[in-house]
C-alpha cells in the first residue's frame, strides 16, 4: 500500500510542493494504525486545510500514523526541555509526537521534544540548544524553540540552516514562571509562537515507518535502563502496551508514553567550548553508523543504525543486515554515548 507523507501548505507553489512530497512516498505494508488516529490534532492548535480527495492515505511524519481530517500548516516544532530534577514538573511532554534524549555536560541529558499533531498551550522549562541538535532536527526541517545557545553553537546552527526561535532573540510566547528557580523557570506558551511561524512546506518522515504492526523483536524487554554516564539514567517499564519512563520529571498524568523506545550508540566529541563552570560540553555525532536497539511490545531487536548526513533520516537494520521499519506510533530515541564508561544499556 502506498503511504504518502503530506503536509498542508498555504504557499502558492502547491503543485511543486506536491511533486516533492510524492517523491518521498513510502511503500509500506498494511492499512494503518486506526487505534491511535491523530484526528484530535486540530483541537490543539494550528490552522489547516483539508487533504485532497484523490490523494493516497497520508500519514504523520513524526509518528507514521494515518492522517485523518486536516493537517496543520505550521512546521514541526522542537522544544529543548531540561531533564533534571530542577525541571519538575516538565510541561507538555504528554502531547508530543516524538522525543529524543541527548547527552549534555556533566553526564546529564536534555530533551528535544517534537510537536506536530498537537500543540500544547504550555511547555517547558525551556533550555539552550546544542550542536547535537543539527542532526536531530534537520530531517523534518523543524523549528527549534530554545532559551538561546553559546555563540559558537548559534553560528553552527545558522550555517546548517536550522531555524530556531529563542528567548534571547525575543520570540513570542516566552515568560518566566515566578514559582520556579532560574534558569529552570523559562516557560513557553507554544500556541502563541506557532501562530507566528511561516506555513510548512513538505516534510519527509523522521523514520521509516511500518503500519502493519509487525515487529521482529524476540528478546524480552519489559524493563530498560539507559545510563548516560554517571549523571543520569533513564528507566523504562512496559505497561499496558506502552513504555513508561518511571523516573520522569513530568507529572505522572502528563508523561510521554511511547509505543517504541530506540537506543542508538553514537560517538561523542567536544562541542568546541566549555560551559560557564568550565565543564566539557559534548556533541553527539549522529552521522555514520553504530549499534542500535529497538524496543516495542515488550520485546527487543538488536541491530545497527545509519545516517548519511545531518538532513538524512535514521535507518535501521537487524543483525542479518535486513532493513527494519519502526512500528507506527509515538517514539522515544535515546542518543547514547558509544563509550561503555559513558553510557550503558540494559534490559530484561
**Whether residue 276 has pLDDT greater than 80:** yes
Q: Is the pLDDT of residue 26 over 60?
A: no
* Domain 77-194 matches domain 209-347 at the CATH topology level: yes
pLDDT for 141-190, tens place per residue? 999 999 999 999 999 999 999 999 999 999 999 999 999 999 999 999 99
The CATH number of 77-194 is 3.50.90.10
Starting at the earlier edge strand, list the strands of the sheet with 174-176: 122-123, 186-189, 174-176
Query: Could you tell me the pTM of the whole model?
Result: 0.84
Asked if 204 contacts 25 with a C-beta cutoff of 8 angstroms, the reply is: no
Q: Give dist(CA 110, CA 272) in Å, integer.
A: 18
Q: How far is CA 9 from the centre of its chain?
A: 22
Q: Which fold has domain 209-347?
A: YerB-like fold (3.50.90)
Report the chain's mean pLDDT, rounded to a whole number.
85
**Which pLDDT tens digit goes with each residue over 287-301?**
999 999 999 999 999
Residue-level pLDDT at 340: 59
Phi, psi for 159 (deg, rounded to 5): -65, -30
Q: Is the pLDDT of residue 54 over 60?
A: no
Domain ranges, ordered by start, for the chain: 2-72, 77-194, 209-347
Nearest to 9 by CA among 68, 71, 52, 57: 71
The string of pLDDT tens digits covering residues 104-120 is: 998 899 999 999 999 99
Amino acid at each position: 500500500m502506498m503511504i504518502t507523507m503530506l503536509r498542508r501548505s498555504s504557499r502558492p507553489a502547491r503543485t511543486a510542493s506536491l511533486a516533492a512530497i510524492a517523491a518521498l512516498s513510502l511503500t509500506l505494508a498494511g492499512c494503518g494504525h486506526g487505534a491511535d488516529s491523530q484526528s484530535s490534532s486540530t483541537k490543539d492548535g494550528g490552522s489547516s486545510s483539508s487533504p485532497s480527495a484523490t490523494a493516497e492515505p497520508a500519514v504523520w511524519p513524526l509518528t507514521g500514523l494515518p492522517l485523518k481530517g486536516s493537517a496543520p500548516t505550521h512546521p514541526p516544532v522542537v522544544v529543548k526541555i531540561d531533564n533534571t530534577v530542577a525541571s519538575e514538573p516538565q510541561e507538555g511532554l504528554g502531547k508530543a509526537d516524538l522525543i529524543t534524549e541527548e547527552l549534555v555536560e556533566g553526564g546529564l541529558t536534555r530533551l528535544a521534544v517534537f510537536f506536530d499533531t498537537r500543540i500544547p498551550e504550555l511547555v517547558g522549562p525551556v533550555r539552550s540548544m546544542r550542536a547535537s541538535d543539527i542532526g536531530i532536527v534537520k530531517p523534518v526541517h523543524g523549528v527549534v524553540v530554545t532559551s538561546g545557545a553559546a555563540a559558537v553553537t548559534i553560528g553552527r546552527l545558522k550555517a546548517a540552516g536550522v531555524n530556531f526561535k529563542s528567548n534571547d532573540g525575543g520570540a513570542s510566547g516566552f515568560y518566566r514562571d515566578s514559582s520556579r528557580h532560574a534558569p529552570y523557570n523559562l516557560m513557553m506558551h507554544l500556541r502563541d509562537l506557532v501562530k507566528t511561524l511561516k506555513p510548512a512546506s513538505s516534510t519527509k518522515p523522521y523514520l521509516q515507518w511500518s503500519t502493519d504492526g509487525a515487529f521482529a523483536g524476540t528478546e524480552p524487554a519489559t524493563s530498560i535502563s539507559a545510563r548516560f554516564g554517571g549523571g543520569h539514567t533513564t528507566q523504562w517499564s512496559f505497561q499496558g502496551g506502552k513504555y513508561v519512563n518511571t523516573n520522569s520529571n513530568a507529572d505522572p498524568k502528563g508523561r510521554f508514553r511511547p509505543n517504541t523506545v530506540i537506543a542508538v550508540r553514537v560517538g561523542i566529541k567536544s562541542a568546541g567550548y566549555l560551559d560557564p563552570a568550565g565543564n566539557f560540553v559534548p556533541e553527539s555525532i549522529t552521522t555514520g553508523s553504530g549499534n542500535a536497539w529497538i524496543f516495542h511490545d515488550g520485546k527487543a531487536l538488536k541491530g545497527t543504525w545509519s545516517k548519511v548526513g545531518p538532513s538524512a533520516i535514521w535507518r535501521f537494520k537487524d543483525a542479518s543486515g535486513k532493513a527494519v521499519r519502526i512500528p507506527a506510533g509515538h517514539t522515544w530515541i535515546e542518543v547514547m554515548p558509544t563509550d561503555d564508561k559513558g553510557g550503558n544499556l540494559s534490559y530484561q
